[in-house]
Amino acid sequence: MTTDFIKTAVIGHPIAHSKSPLLHNHWISHYGLHGEYKAIDIAPDNLKAGIQALIDDGYTGFNVTVPHKVAIMDLCDELSDIAQEIGAVNTVTIQNGKLYGTNTDAYGFIQNIKENIQKEWHFNNGRALVLGAGGAANAIIYALIEEGVPEIILTNRTREKADTLKSLSPEKITVVDWEERNAACKNTNLIVNSTALGMCGKPPLDIDLSLATRTTLVTDIVYAPLYTDLLQQAQNHEMHIITGIGMLLHQARPGFEMWNGVMPEVNKTIENLILN
């Protein structure tokens, strides 16, 4: 571990809402490290100059959020295999002025499930239903395939976007129309909401889980509110649920380790810090 002051950040536009500074600065202080993690607003037409300013200021690395996750790829000198597969970067390390980009969203999604599942539940027990086909869905589908999910039913309001995502694994992914989402709950081992529906200020996710079974695990990437309507409905059906906050916390860990040399832990105290 170095004694240098380690500068890190999250870049996005807008960025004021980001929980990442709270999380990273908590870890920096908890592990007695010397550094600071800032939220830096960079407008899309200023991305290249904004990144150069971070390099010139001696930053060690940064997280990338909306709307830069795809655009940053062109500015990276090297990309991890996973970033190339997912087609987006959320974590960048700067070394000797060069940018190394990777993606930890799939890791965050999987770790959240692995830490919270019941013993008898396994990814390869059956098919998964993924709702949504945006950037988050891309990482989630990648993760599900890596974990051995045998079949993925993908549905999205704009069907063409789901059809495009099918290329991640044409033999495993079946696209169904958004209007078929209730019927698609049948015979599922896992149901994932990867859309922003159900988030505070967004429209609700209109879905009926009646055809799913009690062994279906239901999870949501939305964590505000923590218990979304989807998760509450699943609980009413006595299904097992996993909230979305763990994905946010776990995706942050590999970047923190790359920059600070410590793999930070996630626990209830941190969860409450971020949620309150």
Query: What distance in Å separates the CA atoms of residue 90 and residue 65, rounded to the nearest whole number?
Result: 6
Other C-beta atoms lying within 10 Å of the C-beta of residue 51? 22
110 lines the binding site for ligand ATR (CB under 6 A): no
Q: Which is nearer to ligand ATR, 49 or 226 (CB)?
A: 226
CB of 73 to ligand ATR, least distance (A): 14
Residues 39, 66: contact at Cβ < 8 Å? no
- Radius of gyration from C-alpha coordinates of the chain: 19
Measured CA to CA, the distance from residue 264 to residue 273 in angstroms comes to 15
CA-to-CA distance for 145 and 149, rounded, in angstroms?
A: 6
Q: Which is nearer to ligand ATR, 8 or 90 (CB)?
A: 90
Q: Does 13 bind ligand ATR (CB under 6 A)?
A: no
**Are 58 and 79 in contact, with CB atoms under 8 Å apart?**
no
DSSP 8-state assignment for residue 168: G
Residue span binding ligand ATR (CB under 6 A) among the ranges 7-15, 128-136, 249-257, 260-268: 128-136
Identify any residues that bridge with 37 across adjacent strands, giving them in sequence order: 8
Residue 150's contacts (CB-CB under 8 Å, 6 or more residues apart) are 124, 126, 127, 172
What residues contact 122, with CB distance under 8 A and at least 6 apart?
none
Place of tokens 């694994």: 169
67 lines the binding site for ligand ATR (CB under 6 A): no
CB closer to ligand ATR, 161 vs 166: 161
For residue 86, state whether it binds ligand ATR (rule: CB under 6 A): no
161 binds ligand ATR (CB under 6 A): yes
Among 157, 166, 237, 240, binds ligand ATR (CB under 6 A): 157
Q: Which of 14, 44, 58, 203 binds ligand ATR (CB under 6 A)?
A: 203
User: Which one among 2, 29, 46, 158 touches ligand ATR, defined by CB under 6 A?
Assistant: 158
Does 185 contact ligand ATR by CB under 6 A?
Answer: no
Q: Among the residues of 66-167, which ranges form H helices?
A: 81-86, 105-116, 135-146, 159-165
Q: For ligand ATR, which stretch binds (CB under 6 A), given 36-44, 100-108, 127-135, 246-254?
A: 127-135
Question: Choosing from 69, 161, 166, 202, which is the catalytic residue?
Answer: 69
Active site residue 69: yes
C-alpha distance from residue 250 to each of 110, 166, 169, 254 (Å): 9, 26, 25, 8
Distance in Å, CB of 193 to ligand ATR, minimum: 9
Stretch that binds ligand ATR, among 10-18, 129-137, 163-171, 224-232 (CB under 6 A): 129-137
Binding site for ligand ATR (CB under 6 A): 132-136, 156-158, 161, 195-197, 203
- Catalytic amino acids? 69
